[in-house]
Chains A and B, each alone.
Chain A
Amino acid sequence: MKWYILKRVLWTFVAMWIALTLTFGLISASPNPGQMRATMSCAAVGENPQECREQFRERNNLDQPVTERYKNYMVNMVTLNWGWSESRSQYVIPAILDAWRFTAQYAIPVLVISTLVGYGLGLYSAYKPYTVTDYTASFVGFFGISIPNFWFALVLIILLGTRVELVPTYYQSGIPIQQGWLSLANLRQLILPVTVLLTASLAWQMRYSRAQALEQMNAEFVKVAKAKGASQYRLMIWHVLRMAAVPLSTSFVGSLLAIFWSGSVIIEQIFAIPGLGLMTYTAIVEQDTPLVLATTLVTVFLAIFGNLLEDIAYVILDPRIDYGNR
């Protein structure tokens, strides 16, 4: 098991290296939007675009040979020298450090609530399949996975924000700084973002857990446990949930991150929350290549790290796994 985990950790580094190389390759192969922007802004103020282009290339070391650039790129990345963000007039790393808290403040509660409630509902509807409760839960599930989160956010703003002015329709980043992260005013302005993100993630968690639990419910050992005299609660928690946790662990981080990434970009753009999502959005709009790169890499690294956690959880949860084979 130790060897297995060590191998997975090593693999994590390989995956990160692949990710870095890939992004380098993509950027080198692309027409480089940052350069185009620089050239265009030169032309706009009447300077010689050709010269500006040269300047830009020199400033960004684009005139060096590819191997040299690749080497520098890798060294910079590893030493956390991720470059300068033109649009924020700030180094990229501090920018990320500024932003992550604004994302975490709603993402972590959503993660916890959606897992607890989603698994609870999923397990309960698997326990009573094809009853009214199950159908209601399955309808809620379909609703949650189908409703476009950006549209849902706008509808909530129209209904609750602009009509009755029940909740703030956009986020004021001053509030958590002045009144504290847990202040009532901050929590109030998080109601809509949390609702929107929660709807989707809860629905997915519920559907996954219901499907896995239903699969386990038909297993022979559940019948054996029933024949032992186990109570329904014991059957569902001790046997079904514990067993369903094995397949669920393999998709947990991946599926949630997928919802969270697209969700956070959209939600932060709509509610103006200055977190990682909004940073990604503005970086693209402002064609700030180092920042685009940084936000992409942060998400990719998080995904790789999450995958490592999944793999470790998997071997802890499933004693059957053959280490030699993986």
Chain B
Amino acid sequence: MSGTEPLLSVESLTTHFHTEEGTVRAVDGVDFDVYRGETVAIVGESGSGKTVTSESVTKIIDIPPGEIVDGSVTFDGRELTGLSDEELQEIRGDRISHVFQNPQNGLNPVYRVGRQIGEVLRIHEDGISDAEVRRRVVDLLDRTGIPEASSRVDDYPHEFSGGMKQRVLIAMALARDPDLLIADEPTTALDVTIQAQILRLLEELQADFDMSVIFVTHDLAVVSEIADRVVVMYAGKVMERGRVEEVFEAPAHPYTRSLIACLPGRGSAMRRIEGSLPEATDPPEGCRFHPRCEYATDGCASGDQPPLYHVGGDGNRQSPAPVGGDADHTAACVYYGPAHDVSTLEDGGDRQ
């Protein structure tokens, strides 16, 4: 699964939005890596900063009002945060591409779908012939499971259903055989049966095109199906990171635990986490989660977010995880740090 060098390495990424109500610290020092061929899920509630994180990679966010204040994004050995817009345009859609949440409005309603997919090819391949564009577009539609692709190319978006539109958008994202696909809630807006189809399609295509995927979602059930590793975000911060099996079987962070407890069929049925997300312009001191955390100690309410500590393996429990991280299981909670007894957490968890 993992090569030696990560394909994408995000380090202490910090993205702010300057609004009338104040500065929104949407992403506040996020680290994670993506290796070649793997799927990393970024999980969080809406407002956790997961979407902004994914859109900060190639700066799709609007700047201004957005601003990448700090951090670095290294893609295939190249630093992206300092690149000019023209340089980023060459990467977007070519080596890193996106699929977004809302297929209904993702296509420009006034152009035929074939033309919109072809746009990617025309942008990135100078002097490509019309016939070649058409041939490849039909092929892409075919591969993304659109029946009668050769006649559907000439249809307008409103003649497609939501699920079919999402297939078109996926075809568009794959047109240039990217190294990294960032899929932001690609199934949320679809019917349940279609969701499953699209997920399966994405899995197949990932193998087919041999690419890495960042899968942004609020839906833990989907994560367990599709991802290799998970990054759990809350209020702009990473709460927990690790391999999917580890996080699901032994969630470490109190936030992750309550998220997993909320999953249907997990013990206490359909619980909700008490309280609500903090104001994005004015996040709480200390651990972002402390106002809602049932284990919070006095120390949790001051200072900064605890660093990511290793979970499990006794030897390195006490030391903060190396920045940039790897496949290790880590959690940003004081109980995994020095001078705390993690068994308190275990007991509390059992009490639930």
A and B touch in the complex (CB under 8 A): yes
Chain A residues in contact with chain B, CB under 8 A? 130, 219-221, 223-232, 234, 238-239, 242-243, 246, 317-320
Highest count of chain A CB atoms <10 Å: which of B85, B102, B106, B107: B106
Asked if A221 meets B107 with Cβ closer than 8 Å, knowing A227-B60, A229-B124, A319-B156, the reply is yes
Distance in Å: Cβ of B221 to nearest Cβ of chain A: 25
**A interface: dominant SS:** helix
Asked if A221 meets B105 with Cβ closer than 8 Å, knowing A228-B120, A228-B172, the reply is yes
Highest count of chain B CB atoms <10 Å: which of A225, A230, A242, A317: A225
- Cα–Cα distance between A256 and B100 once the two chains are bound (Å): 39
Contact (Cβ within 8 A) B89 A229: yes
Contacts of A223 in B (CB 8 A): 60, 100
Contact (Cβ within 8 A) B110 A243: yes
**Choice from A225, A231, A232, A320 contacting B109 with Cβ under 8 Å:** A320
- Cα–Cα distance between A30 and B90 once the two chains are bound (Å): 70
Contacts of B97 in A (CB 8 A): 227-228
Asked if A229 meets B106 with Cβ closer than 8 Å, knowing A224-B98, A224-B169, A319-B158, the reply is no
B94 within 8 A of A: yes
Q: In the complex, what residue of chain A is closest to B94 when comparing beta carbons?
A: A229
- Cα–Cα distance between A260 and B263 once the two chains are bound (Å): 64
B114 within 8 A of A: no
Asked if A243 meets B93 with Cβ closer than 8 Å, knowing A232-B85, A319-B158, A320-B156, the reply is no
Assign chain B's interface to a size class: 20 to 34
Contact (Cβ within 8 A) A317 B92: no
Contact (Cβ within 8 A) A246 B102: no
B58 within 8 A of A: yes
Return 6 A-B CB contacts under 8 Å, by A number: A220-B105, A224-B100, A226-B60, A227-B100, A228-B123, A230-B89
- Cα–Cα distance between A224 and B86 once the two chains are bound (Å): 17
Distance in Å: Cβ of A134 to nearest Cβ of chain B: 12
Contacts of B194 in A (CB 8 A): none
Contact (Cβ within 8 A) A243 B107: no
Asked if A317 meets B110 with Cβ closer than 8 Å, knowing A227-B58, A228-B119, the reply is yes
Q: In the complex, what residue of chain B is closest to A317 when comparing beta carbons?
A: B110
Q: In the complex, what residue of chain A is closest to B91 when comparing beta carbons?
A: A229
B108 within 8 A of A: yes
Highest count of chain A CB atoms <10 Å: which of B119, B156, B172: B119
- Cα–Cα distance between A319 and B64 once the two chains are bound (Å): 33
- Cα–Cα distance between A246 and B109 once the two chains are bound (Å): 11
Contacts of B109 in A (CB 8 A): 221, 243, 318-320
Contacts of A225 in B (CB 8 A): 108, 119
Contacts of A228 in B (CB 8 A): 92-93, 97, 119-120, 123, 172
Contacts of A230 in B (CB 8 A): 89, 93, 119, 123
Contacts of B111 in A (CB 8 A): 242
Contacts of B119 in A (CB 8 A): 225, 228, 230, 238
- Cα–Cα distance between A318 and B100 once the two chains are bound (Å): 24
Contact (Cβ within 8 A) B124 A224: no
Contacts of B89 in A (CB 8 A): 229-231
Interface residues of B in 63-117 (CB under 8 A from A): 64, 85-86, 89-94, 97-98, 100, 102, 104-111
Contact (Cβ within 8 A) A220 B93: no
Contacts of A234 in B (CB 8 A): 123
Contact (Cβ within 8 A) B110 A318: yes
- Cα–Cα distance between A225 and B120 once the two chains are bound (Å): 9
Contact (Cβ within 8 A) B123 A227: no
Per-residue CB contact flags for chain B residues 184-223 toward chain A (1 = under 8 Å, else 0) read 0000000000000000000000000000000000000000
**Choice from B106, B120, B173 contacting A221 with Cβ under 8 Å:** B106
**Choice from B64, B91, B107 contacting A224 with Cβ under 8 Å:** B107
Contacts of B108 in A (CB 8 A): 221, 225, 239, 242-243
Contact (Cβ within 8 A) A227 B158: no
Contact (Cβ within 8 A) A220 B110: no
Distance in Å: Cβ of A22 to nearest Cβ of chain B: 37
Interface residues of B in 129-179 (CB under 8 A from A): 156, 158, 169, 172-173
- Cα–Cα distance between A227 and B102 once the two chains are bound (Å): 14
- Cα–Cα distance between A27 and B92 once the two chains are bound (Å): 66
Q: In the complex, what residue of chain A is closest to B169 when comparing beta carbons?
A: A224
